Amino acid sequence: MFKKKPKYNVAIVGATGAVGQCMLRILEERHFPVSELRALASERSVGKKVKFQGREVPVGELKENSFSGIDIVLSSAGAERSKIFAPAAVKSGAVVIDNTSYFRMDPCVPLVVPEVNPEDIFKHKGIIANPNCSTIQMVVALYPIHKAVGIKRIVVSTYQSVSGAGQTAINELCDQTKAFANGKEIAVKKFPYQIVFNLIPQIDVFLENAYTKEEMKMVNETRKIMHDDSIQVSATCIRVPVFYAHSESVNIELKKKLTAFEAREILKKAPGVVVVDDVQHGVYPMPLDAAFKDETFVGRIREDNSVPNGLNLWIVSDNLRKGAALNAVQISEVLVKSK
C-alpha cells in the first residue's frame, strides 16, 4: 500500500532523455512535493547534470540497487531496461510509473489515463503503466463520448511528430532541414527514410497482420483503458516532419445518434479537453498551437455522412507532455492525494 507523506523521494529514470527532461520540468511547474530528486540514466550519461528547482542534480548510473529510499519512480528508460529495473524498484519499496511498452498489456498492471480511469491506479501491485502517447490523447477526447452514448468502432490516422522518437529524432529533423536549405546531402540515421519534407507511413516494426506495433498499441491499449473489448479499432500511424505534438484524424461509429453540436457540448465539459472548432473562421487545432501545452485540443467536429451514427474529430496534443511526462506526473498526483 502506498504510504502517504508530506514530501516524496522521486527518481527519474532516463533523466537526460526528452521525456525525462520533460518530467523534471512538469514536477517543478506543478509543485509536486519532492523531498529528494534522484536522476538516473545509462552509464554514458553519468557525470552529466540536470536542472531541478534551481539547482543542478548529478546523474547517477541506473542499477538495480539505485532505488533505496525512493517512494516514486518515473521511468522512460526503454522496455528492456524497465523489464529489469522496475521490479527492482518495487522490491526496494517504490511505486513505479513506467512510460515504456513493457508492462502495458500485463493484466496485473493498471494502464492509466487519469481523465479516464483514475480508479485503476489503486489496483497496482507496485507498477502502473503509462499508455502510448497517441493512445493517451485519443482516449482523453473519446472517453466522454463513449460514456455518453457508447462507441462501436474507431478508425484513426495519426500524424506523429519526431519528438515521439526521442532527442536523436529531433536532432535529425533539425540537421536535415539545415542540409536541405543549404543544398547539402541529407543524412538519414534515425528514421528509415528522409523525414524533412516527407511523411513516413511506418512507426515501429510491421507485424504479421501488416499493422505496425505502434498501430496495435492503439488498438489494444484503447480497449484496456476504456474497459471495453467490444470496441473495434483500426489505426494507421504516420511520422511527419513536425517537432512537437501529435495530430490525429479520428472517425467513430457510435451506438446511438449524437449530433456534432451535442458532441461539442460534451467535450467542452470534459477534463483535459479544449474545443477549438470554428471552421467558418479557420479555427481548428494545429501542432504549433498544442506544443508545450498540457491540454488535448479537439476540432473539426462533424457528423459522418456515410453512416447513421458517425462522427469525425481532429485531435492534437503535445506528445512529450500529455502523451508521456504529464500523464505520469498526474498519476503520481492521484497517488499522493489519496487517503
**pLDDT score of 91:** 97
Active site residue 237: no
Active site residue 31: no
- Would you state the CATH architecture of domain 8-131+324-337? 3-Layer(aba) Sandwich (3.40)
Residue 93 phi/psi, 5-degree rounding, is 105, 5
Spans of all domains in the chain:
8-131+324-337, 135-319
Instruction: Enumerate residue ranges in the chain where pLDDT < 70.
Output: 1, 339
DSSP 26-94: HHHHTT--EEEEEEEE-GGGTT-EEEETTEEEEEEEP-TTTTTT-SEEEE-S-HHHHHHHHHHHHHTT-
Q: What does the block give as the cell for 307?
A: 453512416
**pLDDT score of 279:** 97
Which residue among 22, 146, 237, 246 is the active-site one?
Answer: 246
Which residue among 22, 133, 146, 237 is the active-site one?
Answer: 133
Distance from chain centroid for Cα 4: 26
pTM: 0.96
CATH code for residues 135-319: 3.30.360.10
CA dist., res. 331 & res. 95, Å (int): 11
Distance from chain centroid for Cα 159: 14
